[in-house]
Amino acid sequence: MRCPNCRSKNIGIIGPEQYYCWDCYIELSVQNNMMHLHEVEMDGTLSSLDDLFSDEERRVEG
């Protein structure tokens, strides 16, 4: 898996179907072969980044 934001393969697993990019610090989750991306805010909340990427960029090959 590659991060759609920075194209890095430096992805860690943080839970079932939940990942973290150690290069650009975004959280990724996978549902129905579609990646959902979130930025972790200073207070710990998540802000969706899905609108910045096309469905094709977020699709996970399964």
Q: How many domains does the chain have?
A: 1
Domain span at residue 30 reads 11-58
Structural domain contains residue 5: no
> How confident is the model at residue 1, as a pLDDT?
83
| 4 part of a folded domain | no
Q: What is the pLDDT of residues 2-42, one digit of tens each?
A: 899 999 999 999 999 999 999 999 999 999 999 999 998 99
Q: Residue 61 above 90 pLDDT? A: no
Say if pTM beats, i.e. exceeds, 0.85.
no
Residue 17 is assigned to a structural domain of this protein: yes
Q: In whole angstroms, how far apart are CA 35 and each of 11, 42, 43?
A: 13, 23, 23
**Residue 32, domain member (yes or no):** yes
Residue 29 lies in a domain: yes
Measuring CA to CA, which residue among 31, 3, 2, 4 is closest to residue 15?
31
The pLDDT, as a whole number, for residue 62 is 64
Would residue 26 count as lying in a domain? yes
Residue 40 lies in a domain: yes
DSSP H or E run through 58: helix 55-58
